[in-house]
Amino acid sequence: MNTPKSTLIVSVYNDAAALGMIIDSLLDQSAMDFDVIISEDGSSDNIKEVITDSGKLPFNLTHLTQEDKGFRKNIALNKAIKQSNTDHLIFIDGDCVPHPQFITAHQNYLSPGVACSGRRVELGKSFSSKLRNKTYSLNRLTNRLYYLINIPYLVYDNAKNVESGIYSKILQFITQNRKSRLLGCNFSCSKGDLFKVNGFNEDYKEAGTGEDSDIDWRLTMAGIKVKKIKFSAIQYHLYHPRSYGISQENNKLLELTKSSDTYLCENGLKKL
């Protein structure tokens, strides 16, 4: 087992099958020098079973849970940050399966003072079902030639952001200096920079607009540069019906953040 350079923090809630696919994909990463923290907003026996059934893994895996009292993702994330043993932190959601070059991409571009933001393909219902049922191999989808061949079928299946699934060093080089915002399901940041802004704002109690934009805004205000790594750090988001909409309460909190004269949140890693 290699000395970990990075910690991958996976935010999960209930979807054990998707978590199993994520763990499988981590076994195929081009870089294996990372730890994994499963940051569960709740406590599910199904999630525990997936982790238990994973057997002996080539990386350290820590499972953090908390009582299910509604949306408390940011609380769980702050716990994971404190638990991590590396300064290099990568964040993904539990319904987003990473490309084999995913960890390497974040490791190549992340440094103190620089946060990295990748992107995801939002797969349609049919393709997601085939991946979940293992009637279609994830290895075929991550193969560039097969992916390009499948683009018409992905579009027909109502996939979104299909171009984000193309792994290309040339496209990465061309677009890397374009302005980008953080995507909460696919970004990396140094632990030191997250402590600089006091981590995630735990005042967000609803899913939807706000919790990602809040950390993006505060990191930018703190002088952290956001680097776009769209065609290197690729994810495949598995389809599921959206259970939330735009949160007016979150919008109010975000506006308070933007009107504040500080990039620190009061209710974060430390209670100010």
> What's the Cα-to-Cα distance from 215 to each of 102, 126, 195, 212, 240, rounded to whole Å?
22, 33, 12, 6, 25
Q: What is the mean pLDDT of the chain?
A: 91
Q: How buried is residue 126: exposed, middle or buried, by Cβ count under 10 Å (0-12/13-18/19+)?
A: middle
- CATH hierarchy code of domain 6-259: 3.90.550.10
- pLDDT the model gives residue 212: 85
- pLDDT the model gives residue 5: 95
- Pick from 175, 204, 173: which is nearest to 77 by CA? 204
pLDDT tens-place string over residues 135-188: 888 888 899 999 999 999 999 999 999 999 999 999 998 988 888 888 889 999
Cα 128 to Cα 237: distance, rounded to the nearest angstrom:
8
Indicate the domain borders of the chain. 6-259
- Cβ neighbours for 181, distance < 8 A, ≥ 6 positions apart: 117, 213, 216, 226
Taking residues 34-50, report their average pLDDT.
90
Cα 208 to Cα 92: distance, rounded to the nearest angstrom:
16
Q: How buried is residue 169: exposed, middle or buried, by Cβ count under 10 Å (0-12/13-18/19+)?
A: exposed
